[in-house]
Amino acid sequence: MSPAGEDVTRLTDGDVNTKFLAFSSTLWAVFDAGAPYTLSHYALTSANDFPERDPVRWVLEGSSNAVDWTPLDRQSGQRFTGRLERHEHTVSASAFYRWYRLHMENAGGGVTQVAELELFGTSALTMPAVAPPRPPVALRAQPVSRTQVALDWADTSDDEALFRIERADDGARFAAVGYVPADVTRFVVAGLNPGGRASYRVVAENAAGVSPAAEVVEASPEPALVAQPGGGGVVYQDAGYALTVIDDASGLTPTWTVSRIVEAFFATYPRMAADFNPTAPRGVIVQLDPRYDGVAEASGEHIRISATYLAAHPDDIDLTVHEGFHVVQAYRAGNTPGWAVEGLADYARWAYGTHNDDACWTLQRFEPGQNYTDAYGVTARFFLWLAQRSGPALLRDLDATLRGGLYDENFWLTRTGVSVDALWAAYAADPMHPAVSYP
């Protein structure tokens, strides 16, 4: 949340005397460049007051469809020594992007601010051309999943710089949803609602102009999963997994919220099970409970979510990933320290979550005085650091050891050669803590 006059539009307004401020230790913002560019460098300018609000680490990403993101530059341990101080960074980007996203984490406290973000690059339409390219032809569309449609076409030109893919929900008002380089004749439109029908067209473009559009086609992704009554609620099934949703909050939980939970479950739970525990339960229950005064919890194969919390935080869909990982963990006996249990679950939310951006959720910033036993995001950030140093197999081994009830601190000595306390000390002393981002 930003105060009046300090919203995200101030980030790129060309005026360092304004700023983007929000009441969070982390921020993210998306910028639409209006056309595709190949980025060469960018600059951040600190705001006018309170140095602890300055970003100290960030990730700049680019996208050609505003859904899939490619990291372009990562910075950690940055310090602005003065107010309205400008830091410039080069980018080695070979591809062009229209949309750019910046994730930032501040130096301390619960407020983050930046005066200005500047992006510098070269238009994707720099090669001279004497006439617009010929139009693509034979456009075809087919669903590839419940949230994706694949478009294919034939290239009839040899002088296009790129193809622009456009979509219209009403069949008339087309807007760009993605770009591909010259000679590429396939594009997958992602981030769609199951069964949502729309019109699509493709144009070729170069420095001289835009071709006529290929013929318009209509398409929709695969329909939403059909619910069948059962288990005291409704049951959804896909790819050998079943999800039972029990909604005790009729009238409080919107239908679209349930749909997002269902899609998030089937997009994440089977992957987590395959990576960590292939014997994990293949049937899971999600109960939306208006009487539950917590946020969410998991026990066995049952996940309970506060319906009132979800109504107030409708974008926090990935809490089901955290709780779903508890189901995957299936720890039954032996030594299973809570810090490791919850740290792995938050790490899983970071690694597999599909709505973290929407909920403005991220791993907690490292601060002096923390310990790996603090659990949740503190421990998960430590686990991320370990995975980047030693590989993700380390965390899979930790999970398997916990599930077998065989954990003790010798795990770290055997697996890494040093104690967990020594690993935490190295993490705490490392100024290059993992930058805030999402996979």
Residue owning tokens 């503190």: 378
For range 397-402, the mean pLDDT: 98
Distance, CA of 307 to CA of 130 (rounded, Å): 60
- 17 is written with which tokens? 């005397």
The CATH fold of domain 137-219? Immunoglobulin-like (2.60.40)
Same fold, 137-219 and 225-329: no
Each residue's pLDDT tens digit, 225-284: 999 999 999 999 999 999 999 999 877 888 888 999 999 999 999 999 999 999 999 999
User: Which pLDDT does position 364 carry in this prediction?
Assistant: 83
DSSP 8-state code for residue 47: -
pLDDT at 84 exceeding the cut of 60:
yes
* Whether 151 contacts 195, CB under 8 Å: no
Distance, CA of 434 to CA of 382 (rounded, Å): 9
- The phi, psi pair for 56, rounded to 5°, reads -115, -20
pTM of the model: 0.87
- Mean pLDDT taken over the chain: 94
User: Which pLDDT does position 357 carry in this prediction?
Assistant: 82
CATH placement of domain 8-123: 2.60.120.260
- The phi, psi pair for 252, rounded to 5°, reads -95, -35
- The phi, psi pair for 189, rounded to 5°, reads -80, 125
Domain 225-329: homologous superfamily in CATH: Neutral Protease Domain 2 (1.10.390.10)
Each residue's pLDDT tens digit, 336-359: 999 999 999 999 999 999 998 888
Would you list the domain boundaries of the chain? Answer: 8-123, 137-219, 225-329, 331-439
Angle between helical axes of 376-390 and 393-403 (0-180°, round to 10): 120
User: Which pLDDT does position 210 carry in this prediction?
Assistant: 97
User: Which pLDDT does position 439 carry in this prediction?
Assistant: 45
Q: In this structure, which amino acid lies at residue 15?
A: D
Residue owning tokens 């929407």: 358
* Whether 253 contacts 311, CB under 8 Å: yes
* Whether 398 contacts 411, CB under 8 Å: yes
Distance, CA of 349 to CA of 361 (rounded, Å): 10
For range 36-62, the mean pLDDT: 95
Task: Report strand pairing: 162-168 vs 233-238.
Answer: unpaired
